[in-house]
Chain A
């Protein structure tokens, strides 16, 4: 919690002591390990996600090397299965979700005019738990191999494994158990991070908004973060339970999904997709929010139909819960269920259509500046349209049984999650980079990045529509010559190289832009209040918490317009009194330090990092059949986790000043 001491010099609370000396440094390498500042945490989420993006991208290149030609021999069947499984897990849980979380972490308090999130140390614990979850899952490569059942890991395949005969190795069952436990426990740990973040973001939005910021004055990105947090809050427990059941099923011969013991493999499908479909919106809604911020700024117009965009986002969040069975149209649920879920799926097209049309309406009549963030935002609008339309074709239930589990589906969800979510997120990186690091990225290289990514993306994923309709199933480690799939597979593999190249260009841009001149507080002539404070913002975000009177607060401090029909005119800094009846909002560069202003931020802490380390240690215990070893791991992990919780509880959020 943020504590603003009335008079720091006369605190009356007795000083409490932690277990060991509290870290105090707010700069230097060590400060990043102990920080509870939402901005540093957001940046670490972003860097971590981009590192995982490189790993997941290399896995994609391996997949495409294998499939570039018929009867490819780059990977064995076993390795291929591990690689495509890890590609899916990585991109979903360790790239797109955390990249969204990076923006939410960094921006939410700034956009709300808050000093930090509601629970800064829980924020830190989310980050570190996510990091250790990623390391835990990838540590599988050093043991018996990585999970190999695809990201959905349907039963009983997850139980049986690829090779019950044991031709690969004599202890095939033990190997499969180890791989699936990495899946089960790894995602379980990652889920803890998401759940903690969700609670944090919901509380932040509800409690930390600046004076005057009603919910309907909240920037759309904050709104979409709010909806995303609710989706996380309800989706994560479902997969958590399913993963827990999976662990018991595999490690302790539980009955849940094993047909030989009265279990039902379709139960896993229901539980997985009851999480898995909302998960799609968890990944795409932050990108929708980002685009809704970028388009108005570079069109120099307010968002067209603000409330329609907000409510369609809420509607997507709600409807997202009622469509999970559209992933199961081939499972034979019966005509009534198929019809209901087919219609619900079509319904989702309405709010998403509203969003697309409102974005076009935002640009209509504007002054469009083709900056790199704007290009990426337009990329999302156009590429997501394609993904949305192929999504509607999935709702044609009888025809979906032709599309399901083919490359047509692979094409569809890459248009949604790469053409949609990732284009939006890259746009966000270009847009807010100057805010976070004080310098703009190079526009020329940025445009090169955009165009190479757009071309590579379409070269990679557009032909997959054709491959799928021509009968090429997904998750095939090889395909025979003469099926008519050779040409487009070669094109797809070339396209994947172009995407890799585009990412290299992005990395070059980050490197060469280190020496760009300072960007200033508001380089884009933006509209929301995070651009009010300096770039990068001070630890306490704002010297004076802004009072909000409009959902384009910053714009109306810079421009005044007399009516909806007239063009606005620029006014002197400090805001125009006629637009802001509360009067001028004071000097935004006071020159005083936080301490001088009486602002007291939460102090760094070791406990979030220590707590997170306990979870993988305990999880490794599940891998041992020997009870004593298992218990020992549980004990060490448990002591670390619960001991950290105790230390955390005894440690005040902020030390008094002396």
Chain B
């Protein structure tokens, strides 16, 4: 699916696009008029070496009034639907709309489904045909500070579904999106937020209402406990490698179920995602992965030292007992991650 602002796939983007469809032909019309007029003038009134100088006309009040009033009238025609659309899109959420809290971090998005009690990273799943109310919640900046620094601005943008809205630390911003058809809609951060601003992508995955319910149910399941030995080892390394300090895995024996909040992405269903690291690398476990070997290499490199492959990433290089993670330990951790479906 292309990220094209002029190809709307939902009513919000359509309302925005309708204004473009109104104004664009007018703009083209004015453009053609001015350029045709200019071309005519340049050809007709070019210096032909004539003896007599042109008449020194200083202006024409009637003409000037006309070309003041006509543009003003055109702008009135554009202004009325613009203001209507502004107020229409700013209305309060419907009682049956789905409210999703969105938190922007350096450099990934967290999506919080408060009602369902699930958190996802960089993948926003929504039901089709339903009004989705996005709450860009920066109201408690203390919750998202990293290394004692305030969180920064981001901007949430899914071109096919709606225009962007800024994530403002210290405040709540709201917007609506809605998808008509199931599909995968690319999104990205549009407010300069640091080194990996370009690497802060996400997708909106629209499901039919039934599929969406099934997805919610699957996400609400806690992760399975480790069965075989390698996975068991990975589950333990998740604690000794300090991963658990930042990443929640609901169902992990060392996670307090009452305080699951973490600064890093929730990994309870990591293997069910299509991508990782701000949606810039395919997940080796995803269904649409193009090159699984490359994806696995990326994941290994990511766990070893994330900022080496994504500039400015806050995830520290993984260490076990003070030494860089070795190959066998990586195998175990990845084997464990693969079970998190």
Q: Which residues of A contact B (CB under 8 A)?
A: 76-78, 81, 149-150, 154-157, 159-168, 173, 258-260, 263-266, 299-302, 304-308, 330-332, 334-335, 338-339, 342-343, 346-347, 349-350, 353-354, 356-358, 360-361, 363-370, 378, 381-382, 385-386, 389-390, 392-393, 395-406, 468-471, 473, 475-480, 483-484, 559, 561, 564-569
Q: Digitize B167-179: 1 where CB-to-A-CB distance is under 8 Å, 0 elsewhere.
A: 0111101110000
Contacts of B151 in A (CB 8 A): 156, 160, 259
**B16 in contact with A401 (CB, 8 Å):** yes
B259 within 8 A of A: no
Q: Which of the listed residues A167, A299, A335, A568 has the most CB atoms from chain B within 10 Å of its own CB?
A: A167
**B5 in contact with A469 (CB, 8 Å):** yes
**In the assembly, what is the distance between CA of A397 and CA of B34, in Å?**
25
**In the assembly, what is the distance between CA of A201 and CA of B233, in Å?**
76
B146 within 8 A of A: yes
Q: Which of B40-69 contact A (CB under 8 A)?
A: 41-42, 45-48, 50, 52-60, 63-64, 67-68
B336 within 8 A of A: no
Contacts of B159 in A (CB 8 A): 402, 471
Q: Which residues of B contact A (CB under 8 A)?
A: 2-6, 13, 15-17, 19-20, 23-24, 27, 30-31, 34-35, 37-38, 41-42, 45-48, 50, 52-60, 63-64, 67-68, 71-72, 75, 78-79, 82-83, 85-87, 89-90, 106, 136, 138, 141-142, 145-147, 149-153, 155, 157, 159, 162-166, 168-171, 173-175, 186, 188-199, 280, 307, 311-314, 316
**In the assembly, what is the distance between CA of A492 and CA of B338, in Å?**
43
- 9 nearest interchain CB pairs? A401-B163, A259-B170, A471-B3, A476-B198, A162-B195, A402-B5, A162-B194, A167-B307, A332-B173
**A260 in contact with B34 (CB, 8 Å):** no
Contacts of A483 in B (CB 8 A): 3
Contacts of B37 in A (CB 8 A): 360
**In the assembly, what is the distance between CA of A183 and CA of B90, in Å?**
36
**In the assembly, what is the distance between CA of A564 and CA of B54, in Å?**
10
**A300 in contact with B163 (CB, 8 Å):** no
**B311 in contact with A76 (CB, 8 Å):** yes
**B16 in contact with A308 (CB, 8 Å):** no
Contacts of A149 in B (CB 8 A): 192
Pick from A160, A405, A478: contact of B149, CB below 8 A.
A160
Contacts of A386 in B (CB 8 A): 31
Closest to B82 in A: A396
Q: Which of the listed residues A334, A361, A396 has the most CB atoms from chain B within 10 Å of its own CB?
A: A396
Contacts of A304 in B (CB 8 A): 57-60
A584 to chain B, nearest CB (A): 21
Q: A-B pairs with CB below 8 Å: how many?
A: 321
Provide the main secondary structure of the chain B interface. mixed
Pick 29 A–B contacts, CB within 8 A, sort by A: A156-B149, A164-B106, A167-B313, A259-B169, A260-B145, A300-B47, A305-B59, A331-B166, A334-B90, A342-B83, A343-B83, A349-B75, A350-B68, A350-B71, A350-B75, A367-B50, A368-B42, A385-B30, A392-B23, A395-B82, A399-B19, A400-B163, A401-B164, A402-B164, A405-B155, A405-B191, A471-B188, A564-B55, A564-B58
Closest to B34 in A: A385
B124 to chain A, nearest CB (A): 17
**B314 in contact with A165 (CB, 8 Å):** yes
Contacts of B307 in A (CB 8 A): 165, 167
**In the assembly, what is the distance between CA of A349 and CA of B68, in Å?**
10
Pick from B17, B58, B71: contact of A349, CB below 8 A.
B71
**In the assembly, what is the distance between CA of A266 and CA of B153, in Å?**
10
**In the assembly, what is the distance between CA of A453 and CA of B2, in Å?**
33
**B171 in contact with A266 (CB, 8 Å):** yes
Pick from B54, B79, B199, B313: contact of A299, CB below 8 A.
B54
Closest to A365 in B: B54
Contacts of A368 in B (CB 8 A): 41-42, 45-47
**In the assembly, what is the distance between CA of A377 and CA of B34, in Å?**
15
Pick from B75, B146, B313, B316: contact of A347, CB below 8 A.
B75
New contact pairs (17) apart from A259-B171, A346-B79, CB-CB < 8 Å: A154-B192, A155-B153, A156-B150, A156-B169, A166-B147, A264-B170, A330-B190, A331-B166, A350-B71, A350-B75, A357-B67, A361-B63, A385-B35, A398-B85, A469-B6, A470-B5, A559-B53
**In the assembly, what is the distance between CA of A173 and CA of B147, in Å?**
11
**In the assembly, what is the distance between CA of A470 and CA of B47, in Å?**
44
B171 to chain A, nearest CB (A): 7
Contacts of B47 in A (CB 8 A): 300, 367-370
